[in-house]
Amino acid sequence: MTDLSRVLAGIEEQLSVPASLLKEIAERFQAAMTAGLAGKPSSLKMLPSYIGVPTGREQGTVVAVDFGGTNVRVLLITLTGDGQVHISNRRSFLLKDKRKNYDFTTASASGMQLFDFIAEKIAEIVPTTDKTYPLGHTFSFPCHQYDINEAELISWTKEIKTAGVEGQNVGQLLQAALERKKISYVYPQAIINDTTGTLLTAAYRDNATDIGAICGTGHNSCYLEPGHPLTNKPMIVNMESGNFSQIMQTKYDLCLDQDSEKPGAQRLEKQTSGQYLGEIVRIIVSSLVADGHMAGEPANTLHLPYSVRTEDLSTILADHTAGLEAVAEVVAACWNLGNLTLGELAALQTIARLVAIRSARLVAATWAGVLYRIDLELSRSHTIAVDGSLYEKMPGYAEYLAQAMNDIWGIGAKKVTIRLSKDGSGIGAAIAAATVYNSQ
């Protein structure tokens, strides 16, 4: 065994999540759910959403605002009342744009500036006729929810730092911005998390859906609690599972965590989501170079945090060429590493794969934890609705999830369908608003 392959075997061992561990994590997750719901200490926030699943008969034309952290999307959506959805207009706007010289995600930007920007974008999309439109707002951060249209941001995640929003009522911030911009023809009706939107969108057509998740820049899941303690009725609960803490951390995870915006927080998210997977790979590769297991040119930029993005990992994983040309291009462009041997490029691809597999297996374990709670025997079918770039675009990711479910349930895994809920987070906001509007 060469030195590099020996070190690689060690990394593989640290990142692996065997079937027995999957089940253990699922059990810990289930226990954390129970504690969180009962208001006992838990890394799961278990936030009520004040909404159940739709009937599929909700209808109307609704404005959806989908604010996730990287961009804000505004959509004009018509629900037909028979499970169908038509998007008549949609646009996406970056929250930071170097060329246009703005960044609403830093601590030097204020909540007022951020929500004014969102209100302006709503005005660009929604026709100003005499018609009025209900608005559904997806706000993909942990919020204390007091009603379907009342949400207070607990704390930012995903490295966002905009000032003056934590602790504030997000619905009021948007309403105030709409008033400042004299946009009186849209009226906010609902605020939801993106996981809730994903669940609602899939459930609009498929009533076996009881888990919704995002595997994208961030990671989180929600589920339908059959009898919520607050209402004794079915209610979607945003678990903020990205904060789940009962998982192992390697020295690479600890290193990432120390230099993150909120050390100690969002442990699961830091091992599973698109915001961080590239950074884990960078930290591992830097340590290999620093320890002399891989050649690094003196001018390399491996020390620069977040210098490889998750899209780059997808490119690395998709490379099936004999010479691993795409892998070579990525490392040259991102880290100025131009002379790696084929063996070293292959090692890099293996590291990217191991990090992606660990992500998928940890996520699957948490979903198993939910199923342990709501249907331990898997006595009925379940659909897990997922949106996000990792699930949609990362080569192998969907298969890794399915494999983990098989490892946990064996043949029983056939009862569980994991499915893409494309644009679920935006469409779900429209469904939530229509639910409120239709019931008035």
Residues forming the site for ligand GLC (CB under 6 A): 68, 140-142, 157-158, 193-195, 214, 218-220, 240, 242, 269
Output the smallest distance, CB 72 to ligand GLC, in A.
13
Distance between CA 267 and CA 253 in Å, rounded?
9
Give the Å distances, CA to CA, from 204 to 55, 81, 128, 140, 430: 7, 9, 29, 20, 11
CB distance 331 to 313 below 8 Å: no
Which residues face 317 on adjacent strands?
Answer: none
Output the smallest distance, CB 219 to ligand GLC, in A.
6
Distance between CA 314 and CA 355 in Å, rounded?
12
* 233 burial level (CB within 10 Å; 0-12, 13-18, 19+): exposed
Question: Pairing relation of β-strands 382-387 and 416-420?
Answer: parallel
Output the smallest distance, CB 308 to ligand GLC, in A.
20
Output the smallest distance, CB 162 to ligand GLC, in A.
14
Of residues 349 and 359, the one with the C-beta less far from ligand GLC:
359
Output the smallest distance, CB 425 to ligand GLC, in A.
8
* Centroid of chain to Cα 98: 24
Distance between CA 386 and CA 367 in Å, rounded?
11
Of residues 158 and 358, the one with the C-beta less far from ligand GLC:
158
Of residues 109 and 199, the one with the C-beta less far from ligand GLC:
199
Of residues 214 and 413, the one with the C-beta less far from ligand GLC:
214
Of residues 8 and 386, the one with the C-beta less far from ligand GLC:
386
Output the smallest distance, CB 196 to ligand GLC, in A.
9
Length of the chain measured in residues: 440
| Torsion angle (degrees, nearest 10) of CA 259, 262, 268, 271 | -20
Output the smallest distance, CB 330 to ligand GLC, in A.
25
Of residues 246 and 406, the one with the C-beta less far from ligand GLC:
246
Output the smallest distance, CB 68 to ligand GLC, in A.
5
Of residues 183 and 213, the one with the C-beta less far from ligand GLC:
213
* Centroid of chain to Cα 395: 17
Distance between CA 216 and CA 272 in Å, rounded?
9
Question: Pairing relation of β-strands 59-67 and 133-139?
Answer: parallel
| Helix, strand, coil distribution of the chain in percent, nearest 5 | 45, 20, 35
Distance between CA 301 and CA 255 in Å, rounded?
18
C-beta nearest to ligand GLC: residue: 218
Of residues 141 and 372, the one with the C-beta less far from ligand GLC:
141
